[in-house]
Amino acid sequence: MSGAQRHPLTIALPKGRLHDRIHELFARCGLAFEFESRKLVAEDREGSVRLMLVKNSDVPVYVNHGIAGLGVCGDDVLYESGFDYFRLMTLPFGSTRMCLAGRRDHDPQQDHGRLKVATKFTRFAHDFFHQRGIPVEVIKLGGSVELAPLLGLAPYIVDLVETGSTLTANDLVVNEELTQIQVHLISNPAYYKFHYAQVNALVRRLQNQDPQGDADEPTAG
Amino acid sequence: MVLNRRGYLQIPQGTEGFYLDEAYRHKKLTAEVEQLLYLWGYLPVQTPVFDYYDAYAALLSEDEARKIYRLIDRDGDLLMLRSDVTLFLAKQMGMILRRDDLPMRVCYADTILRHQNREDISKNEFFQTGVELIGPDTLDADLEVILLLRRTLQQIGAPLYYIHIGSRALFNAGFDQADAAVGARLRRAIVLRDMQELSAECTQLGISTARSRALQQLFSYIGDATGLSVLANSLRSELQAAELRQIERLQQLYNTLNEADDSGSYRIDLSEIGSQSYHTGIVFQAYVDGLDASVAAGGRYDRLYGRFGLDTPAVGFSIMLRKLQDDAAVDARFTPQISEAATGRTFVQRFRDAEARRRAGGSATL
């Protein structure tokens, strides 16, 4: 028998640089929340959303498994996860660039037509260069990717670049901007289908930055 | 030696085992569903575990083909393991059925084997239970199959659920100029409700901005028949006659479904356009509260059987009982009875006591 009761929408939020901006956005929309000390789950006062604070790269995992129906996540993390999601809206902050960078003094002639890159984003790097017919050797790193060219692990890196100051400090330059990265509100497809009216109401609220929200629109697509 | 044996303790991806309480639940659940299907006039069929790959190759998308396990038999022929019961059934039924046999109602409960990425393991389903109604291409046949799915979900005690109904025929009417590769990209954009991507593909196809916007609104619609009517009227100037006909058919289907069954379980969802390359008409999926993927999928495939001899339409669904059986409400109905030890001083006394307990509906061990 159908006929769903109203429960808070579940949202996985990433720890780290985006957290304060997300908190501000939700507060402006009347969905203020606070994580109590050391707690990683919180609800807004009106019980519209239940938030889970997880590691950035784990957001797609929680959403894919339906533990959180929705999540806030960048294109970079989404691509690496390999899962399919609905991108419900692009958030007005957090955008950055995925770039190919290398040592300022590196001579491309030494590449002999093939690239060797170190990166955290191995799936993206592999697919990006393969789709362009460029042979690439991808070395997986967990962090401090800028060190790889300096220490001779690989002449290039593929990494997120915001201001470029970290690159400059390590005597690296951007060789090419590969793609723009934006931050999205995503949904597990089955979760969206079941709760579509409630999710659409949340999206409208976030898009309009409307503290009151509006009534659900049962026939909205 | 010990290290090698440890390696073999893993189960290869693409299959699974289930045991004891879990296996009991699965068998009881399957038996209950099969009993219901028999009552609706569906007869069981069993498809082969493997078959010649070339018989199906043209029906598989690149992605589907990648997931299939292939092997070579002793004569050097390329075989494939059963990855989708509908495909194997179409060939078997296409070969044995005659036109006089139609309409034919068949049901199945079989394992399937296909590769899934390790990370997708939670969405794996290696057991399909389902039905096919072969022969009629009528609205009544579509209604019968959707109502049977709803009745099946009700029978097994599934918790809250909705059946989302869309139409591949509507998609085909809207994008008849797209070739196979573009069609696949368009379908992906719609299924993922990626309207930005759909807009880009429309531009590539030379579709006007106004019509592109209309198609984006149309294929993102979820709701009831009244809402669809309002939307279709507002977009009428940008829609083609073939599209409007498919919309009317969906509205008729939806209204009759609700007249036959007022449970409120149905939604029109035009982003449902079918996951299989062989779909041609209505398509649908069932979504259950709290599950991370749909639990049942089905639709019409009017040209599939024609590839195997008998050119006849068909409509059907398959349901993923394994996803449902872990739900607490379903689980509670299919828990094994606790067996009691029979009492008595001698074996014969214990045997008689056990038989008495069993006649009374209990479970007893000797």
Q: List pLDDT tens digits, range A83-111.
A: 899 999 999 999 999 999 999 998 888 88
> What phi and psi, each to the nearest 5 degrees, are found at residue B315?
-145, 145
- Residue located via tokens 């409120």: B264
How confident is the model at residue A17, as a pLDDT? 85
**Range scoring the smallest mean pLDDT among B15-19, B109-113, B235-239, B320-324:** B15-19
Phi, psi of A28 (to 5 degrees): -60, -25
Dump strand ranges (E) for B192-233.
222-223
Q: Which amino acid is at B180?
A: A
The C-alpha atoms of residue A52 and residue A40 are separated, in whole angstroms, by: 6
d(CA A175, CA A190): 41
Whether the Cβ atoms of residue B305 and residue B90 lie closer than 8 Å to each other = yes
Q: Are B268 and B166 in contact (CB under 8 A)?
A: yes
Percentage of the residues of chain A whose pLDDT score is greater than 90: 77
Position A167 pLDDT exceeds 70: yes
Residues of B in contact with A87 (CB under 8 A): 192, 194
Residue indicated by tokens 């993206």: A124
pLDDT tier, B9 (very low <50, low <70, confident <90, very high otherwise): confident
Q: Tell me which of A124-133, B15-24, B138-147 is least confident.
A: B15-24
User: Is residue A220 within 8 Å of residue A197, measured between CB atoms?
Assistant: yes
Per-residue pLDDT at B6: 59
pLDDT (tens digit per residue) in B151-180: 999 998 888 999 999 999 999 999 988 998
State the CATH architecture for A96-181.
3-Layer(aba) Sandwich (3.40)
Residue A221, pLDDT > 70, answer no
Residues A1, B160: C-beta atoms closer than 8 Å: yes
**Structure confidence at residue B276 (pLDDT):** 86
d(CA A53, CA B82) in angstroms, rounded, equals: 42
Contacts of A219 in chain B (CB under 8 A): 222-224, 226-228, 230
Does A117 or B67 have the greater pLDDT score? A117
Chain A contact for B125 (CB, 8 A cutoff): no
HSE, CB side, 13 Å, CA atoms: give it for residue A192: 28
Of residues B123 and B8, which shows the higher confidence score? B8
Looking at per-residue pLDDT, the higher value among B285 and B333 belongs to: B285
Return the pLDDT at A210: 76
Write down the domain spans for chain B: 161-288, 339-366
Contact A190 B227 (CB under 8 A): no
Q: Which of A194, A198, A203, A207 to mutate to test the interface with B (most CBs of B within 10 A)?
A: A194
| Per-residue pLDDT tens digits for B247-303 | 999 999 999 999 999 999 999 999 999 988 899 999 999 999 999 889 999 999 999
**Average pLDDT of the segment spanning B338-362:** 95
pLDDT of A220 higher than 50: no
The domains spanning A9-94+183-208 and A96-181 adopt the same CATH topology: yes
Question: What per-residue confidence (pLDDT) applies to B191?
Answer: 96
Domain ranges of chain A: 9-94+183-208, 96-181
What integer best gives the mean pLDDT of chain A? 91
> Beta partners for B161?
B288
SS3 state of residue A56: helix
Mean per-residue pLDDT for A199-205? 96
Residue B117: pLDDT band with limits 50, 70, 90: low
Residue A180 touches partner B, C-beta closer than 8 Å: no
**pLDDT higher at A40 or B328:** A40
DSSP H helices in B275-316:
none
Statement: A9-94+183-208 belongs to CATH 3.40.190.10: yes
Amino acid A36: pLDDT: 86
Q: What are the structure tokens assigned to B273, written together? A: 């356009």
Inter-chain touch A83–B119, beta carbons under 8 Å: yes
Query: Over chain B, what is the mean pLDDT?
Result: 91
Q: Which residue of B has its CA nearest to A218?
A: B223
Q: What are phi and psi of B272, to 5 degrees?
A: -85, 105
CA distance B332 to B172: 44
Distance CA A111, CA A134 (A): 11
Residues B275, B171: contact at Cβ < 8 Å? Answer: no
Q: Are B119 and A3 an interchain contact pair (Cβ–Cβ within 8 Å)?
A: no
A189–B contact, CB cutoff 8 A: yes
Chain A residues closer than 8 Å to B164 by CB: 193
| Confidence tier at B3 by pLDDT (50, 70, 90) | low
Residue B6: both structure tokens together: 């440890």
Measured between CB atoms, which of B193, B227, B294 is closest to A219?
B227
Q: Which of A63-72, A157-166, B173-182, B319-328 has the lowest mean pLDDT?
A: B319-328
Q: Is the pLDDT of residue B330 over 90?
A: no
User: With an 8 Å Cβ cutoff, is B262 touching chain A?
Assistant: no
DSSP bridge pairs for B241: none
CATH code for the domain defined by B161-288: 3.30.930.10
Smallest Cβ–Cβ distance between A190 and the set B194, B220, B287 belongs to: B287
The interface residues of chain A toward chain B in range 12-51, judged by CB-CB distance below 8 A, are none
Please write the tens of the pLDDT for every residue from B120-146.
443 455 788 999 999 999 999 999 999
Nearest residue of A to residue B289 by CA position? A194
Mean pLDDT to the nearest integer, B66-77: 92
Q: Is B2 exposed, middle or buried (0-12, 13-18, 19+ CB in 10 A)?
A: exposed
For residue B275, what pLDDT is reported?
A: 83
Contacts of B231 in chain A (CB under 8 A): 221
Phi, psi of A161 (to 5 degrees): -125, 120
Query: Which residues have C-beta within 8 Å of that of residue A171, sequence separation ≥ 6?
Result: A103, A104, A105, A150
Query: For B122, which of A2, A3, A65 is closest by C-beta distance?
Result: A65
What DSSP string runs through B238-255? GS-HHHHHHHHHHHHHHH
Nearest CA in chain A to B158: A1
pLDDT digits (tens, 9 = 90+) for B303-314: 999 999 899 999
**A218: its two tokens:** 């049962």
Average pLDDT estimate for A208-221: 58
